[in-house]
């Protein structure tokens, strides 16, 4: 089963479960899914959205450790406007949807077989993770160097700001991917499109530029016809190699799944930043896999905000915002999560299958600080003086990071 069909199956099962839960809740009336814990809260007679309550158990009945107020730290791509085009679709989560996300924006895009994201460029750098299928990507840098490659599930690409590029779906069913941009103000509808530029240059100027009669111009399709449009599925990659062209000095693609992960009893982590993917100078990322009951350990990032994308599974994240504030949030596949700079947090797998998600940062390098390691490498008298920990806890502190811990 492919990741896409598995993810769809999980989503379908989850939706079915929510529907059953909602039906049961209606049947049970005031006794179902209540914001009530022993000695606290009370019933909610309604009106209410029982399905949304089922999706947000940590909002409905937060742990007593939650405190204070936070900006929203979650947004679902399912709540985003879907732009449908001839060759596929696209939707985005930017600062307009998730106001806390000032440094990173995300786009979820589907290209059918032959579906082509028009030749274009952005002011922002573009980082991508392939979720499903195969695609062909191409680019030309400012020195006139050429790049073309085929990418599949788990592969990345990175196009620096201002570099023109294209994406086309391959195979029998095209592809789906996540795009990440190093600016929360990014807008997918505001990119520099090839057809749009041609439509706004006088034909005599085009003729002079290309050294041909102006009569050959003026027939460019409207930009909305070329944003995501159909072309024949290309043949083997070798056929798209430009004869005599020089290759880019740093390739714009990377096989993340080929990296040897950090393995623990609770899961795996693959870290990809400019140390292993030199072209990716403004986005660092980690692909985290957590087994049921496992947890991404208590930690924080000392260099950047964290933008997350949940690929499959169910998660619960607790975030510490200092000054006595803390918040717990639930996530499912297709959700975007966010942790502001330097805030301590953990992520638990609350489902019965592997939790898989991406951590992304506007940075050339990946860095995290482990709470466990910090305490293990601090003089024990200092730690004891702060926390009054039992000797059993002190003896269990780990001098080496274990980014994912088991249940």
Tokens of 179: 């795009």
* Whether 85 is catalytic: no
DSSP letters, 86-107, are TTEEEEEE-TTTSTT-SS-EEE
Any idea which residue has 């909002």 for tokens?
A: 59
Instruction: Please report which helix (H) or strand (E) contains residue 384, including its range.
Output: helix 380-387
Give, in degrees to the nearest 5, the angle at Cα 109 between 105 and 113: 160
Q: Which of 85, 97, 118, 359 is catalytic?
A: 359
Instruction: Give the C-alpha separation, 173 to 168, whole Å.
Output: 11
Any idea which residue has 């006088």 for tokens?
A: 202
Q: Helix, strand or coil for residue 24?
A: helix
Buried b (16+ CB within 10 A) or exposed e, 15-37: eeebeebbeebeeeeeebbbeee
Q: How far is CA 311 from CA 10, 85, 359, in A?
A: 11, 24, 11
Question: Residue ranges of the alpha helices (H) in 130-280?
Answer: 194-199, 203-210, 223-226
Query: Does the N-terminal peptide bond of residue 47 adopt cis geometry, omega within 30 degrees of 0?
Result: yes
Task: Indicate which residues carry an active-site annotation.
Answer: 359
């Amino acid at each position: 089963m492919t990741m896409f069909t598995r993810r769809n199956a999980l989503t379908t099962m989850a939706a079915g479960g929510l529907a059953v839960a909602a039906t049961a809740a209606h049947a049970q009336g005031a006794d179902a899914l209540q914001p009530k814990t022993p000695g606290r809260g009370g019933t909610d007679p309604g009106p209410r959205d029982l399905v949304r309550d089922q999706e947000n158990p940590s909002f409905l009945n937060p742990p007593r450790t939650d405190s204070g107020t936070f900006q929203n730290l979650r947004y679902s791509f399912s709540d985003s406007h879907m732009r449908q085009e001839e060759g596929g679709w696209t939707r985005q989560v930017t600062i307009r949807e998730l106001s806390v996300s000032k440094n990173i924006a995300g786009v979820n895009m589907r290209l059918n077989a032959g579906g082509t994201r028009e030749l274009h460029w952005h002011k922002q750098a573009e980082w991508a993770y392939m979720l499903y299928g195969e695609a062909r990507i191409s680019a030309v840098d400012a020195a006139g160097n050429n790049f073309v490659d085929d990418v599949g599930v788990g592969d990345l690409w990175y196009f620096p700001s201002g570099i023109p590029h294209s994406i086309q779906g391959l195979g029998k069913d095209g592809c789906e991917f996540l795009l990440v941009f190093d600016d929360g103000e990014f807008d997918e509808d505001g990119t520099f499109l090839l057809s749009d530029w041609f439509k706004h240059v006088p034909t005599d100027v085009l003729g002079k530029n290309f050294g041909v009669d102006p009569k050959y111009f003026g027939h460019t399709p409207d930009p909305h016809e070329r944003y995501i449009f159909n072309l024949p599925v290309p043949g083997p990659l070798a056929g798209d190699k430009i004869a005599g062209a020089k290759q880019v000095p740093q390739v714009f693609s990377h096989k993340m799944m080929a990296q040897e992960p950090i393995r623990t009893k609770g899961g795996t982590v693959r870290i990809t930043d400019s140390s292993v993917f030199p072209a990716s100078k403004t986005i660092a990322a980690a692909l985290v896999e957590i087994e049921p009951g496992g947890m991404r350990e208590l930690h924080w990032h000392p260099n950047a905000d964290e933008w997350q994308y949940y690929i499959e599974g169910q998660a619960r994240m607790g975030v510490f915002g200092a000054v006595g504030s803390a918040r717990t949030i639930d996530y499912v596949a297709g959700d975007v999560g966010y942790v502001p700079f330097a805030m301590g947090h953990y992520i638990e797998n609350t489902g019965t299958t592997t939790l898989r998600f991406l951590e992304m940062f506007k940075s050339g390098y990946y860095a995290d600080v482990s709470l466990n390691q910090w305490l293990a490498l601090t003089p024990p008298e200092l730690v004891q003086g702060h926390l009054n920990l039992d000797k059993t806890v002190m003896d269990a502190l780990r001098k080496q990071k274990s980014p994912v811990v088991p249940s």
